Chains A and B, each alone.
Chain A
Amino acid sequence: MDSEEEAFDKIINAIPSMGETGATIDELSKITHLERHTLSKYLSRLRAEGRISYKQIGRAKVWFVSKAPLQHIFRLREEDQTYTEKIFSRILADIPEGVLVLDFDYNIMFMNRYLLALYGDCVGQKYYPAIFGTGIGMGMGMGMGKSFEAHQNQIRGVIEGSLEEIESQVEDKGGRILEIKAREVENPDGSFSIIAIIRDISEKVGREERIKNLSELHRLLGESVNRSYTIDQLCSTILENLRNVIGYDMGDILIYNPENNLLSSFAQIGYPHMEDRRKRNTVDEWERGIARAAIIGKEPLFFVKGEKREGMRDELSYYNYASELAAEYNLQEIYAIPLRTKGEPHGALLILTRHGRVLSEEDRSLLGGISEGIASGIAKIKVEEELRVKANAVEISINSVLMADTEGKLTYVNPAFLKMWGYDREKEVLGRSCTEFWKQMDETGAKDILIAVQEKGDWEGELIGVRKDGSEFKLRLSASLIIGKKGPLQFVAAAAVAE
């Protein structure tokens, strides 16, 4: 070992004696009296340790002493270091960021403890293969992406002198996201290196990505609720958007119908086609069993394949359904989240992952957080659907229905009204005072009806209807005042031809 170290020292001392350009192997052989073969072996070792480097000039290699002073400091034994060197080496070793020095041939001259922990000792290796697993000029074809290409261009820019300082965000060979700040530094001997500060920001980027995805998910959820006219449409959009954020394998939204106490699937994603109808029904039943357990329990249920569960009878029946489903689809995890708005169950969201994929704690918390938004969307569309159904009933009613504002101006009439009064289109009547369409039997003013409704809240009786062509008919009218959140809103009335 000692004789090897002596030989190393002899070589390192010999190189500068040959001048600034460096020394060839022949020149070094003469000065050090080492055989060319032995010398070549030592040169390779010294280069691997980053202590020396070479430049290719024609067919010859010209060796020079490494110009990375940091490496020099770290190579010294602590007792050989000066006080300043000791302080400096300790700071660099313990700094919670990576420090890397490159020469202009992309050789790694120095890396501190932070980087050693990530990549092992790569001193003497080329920068791109060591950190990114790919050679210079490569990467795009290997799926490294545009950010890697941009980083390569930036480093080249520093070497060529067109850029003084650079900042990149780039993925390494292990899939980590690195933030790299680098600049050219002049060494004490007048040569130049690149010093780079490297941080693994994967966690930060991941967190930012989640926040971005979550806010995007909320935006898409709001958009889906606004744009969807049916619950099926809403559920499909939600599942697709959720899949972009969570990256699950299979998903299902089951909606609960309180009228018949049944749960039916309103959207599914990722399920393989199943020919056997009987089998399909059985699988559907397992899913409904899981969803029902989540709805009854009012809490999300989390099933992990192979995890034994003890509990009440209901919990065990859920566990059995989940086990069957997991076996059928080779699932790893099943997460069932009840979809409820205050007091009202709307259904359940099922998220299933195949073997090898797990939902993180963050995924589950995100799903829990978004479930209320999904439930509100479903509730809103349910109410809208119910109103549309009721509106249809009014539209097809054989009795006339009209609505008027508090001044008596018509705001709505149904088709039966138009038919009864002999009009073709709503436009002909909307905005006109309802009192134009009837008069009282005893010749008192038609406005009296409005006043009566305003005073008493409702009115029911017989009137003379006046058609578009002026002809008259006897009708029975029932009118009531509607009170809204802020006060009187409008009148609503139903009319039928009197016997």
Chain B
Amino acid sequence: MTKVETKTVMIVDDEPDVLDTVAQILVTNGYKTIEAKDGQECLDRLREEIPDIILLDIMMPGLTTEEILRAIEKDNRLSGVKIIFLTAIHMPEAEEGGLLASKQVVDFIEKPFTIRRMIDAIEKAICCFQILNVSRI
């Protein structure tokens, strides 16, 4: 039997209830999680561990989303990490702000969202990621 590799999802959100609930649900669904409550913690944790997916809230205190994205893009170790925005702002606003320009950003989930929508987005991102890896081999 082939052992399915456990995927790691980093959740970055300044709302503790969102952070805890999403992390706990992902663990129940078989994912390994890394939690960060702001952009700085996100970058600090990324130095220690590289996740497959980052669920990133837009508009957190501290570092701006652009600064976080720029730091991730600059780090070659993180080039394969896919980013999914989880946010209360609307997609056109994010588009206007240039946040969707990064190739690593693969989806945009507007709050409120169903867990099913989030799991689907994660699965889709991982699926594409795997196809990409296979094609490289």
Contact = CB atoms under 8 A, between A and B. Distances in A.
Secondary structure class of chain B's binding surface, majority of residues: helix
Contact of B25 (A341, A456, A485): A456
A492 interface: yes
A457 B29 contact: yes
B22 A456 contact: no
Interface of A: 341-344, 455-458, 480-489, 492
Interface in B9-48: 15-18, 20-22, 24-25, 28-29
A483 B18 contact: yes
A343 B28 contact: no
B62 interface: no
Interface of B: 15-18, 20-22, 24-25, 28-29, 88, 92-97, 111-116, 118-119
Given A456-B29, A457-B29, A486 B17 contact: yes
Contacts of B114: 458, 480-483, 492
27 contacts: A341-B93, A343-B93, A343-B96, A343-B97, A344-B93, A344-B96, A455-B28, A457-B25, A457-B28, A457-B29, A457-B115, A457-B118, A458-B114, A458-B115, A480-B116, A481-B25, A483-B113, A483-B115, A483-B118, A484-B111, A485-B88, A486-B17, A487-B16, A487-B17, A487-B18, A487-B21, A492-B114
Contacts of A489: 112
Contacts, number: 73
A429 B38 CA distance: 42
A482 B95 CA distance: 24
A455 B111 contact: no
A147 B94 CA distance: 55
A485 B93 contact: no
Contact of A480 (B20, B28, B115): B115
Contacts of A482: 112-115
Shortest Cβ-Cβ A-B pairs, 10 listed: A487-B17, A457-B115, A343-B96, A343-B92, A457-B25, A480-B114, A344-B92, A342-B93, A484-B112, A480-B116
B127 to A, nearest CB: 19
A489 to B, nearest CB: 5
Nearest to B15: A486
Given A343-B93, A455-B24, A488 B17 contact: yes
A492 B113 CA distance: 11
Contact of A485 (B15, B20, B115, B119): B15
Contacts of A481: 21, 25, 114-115
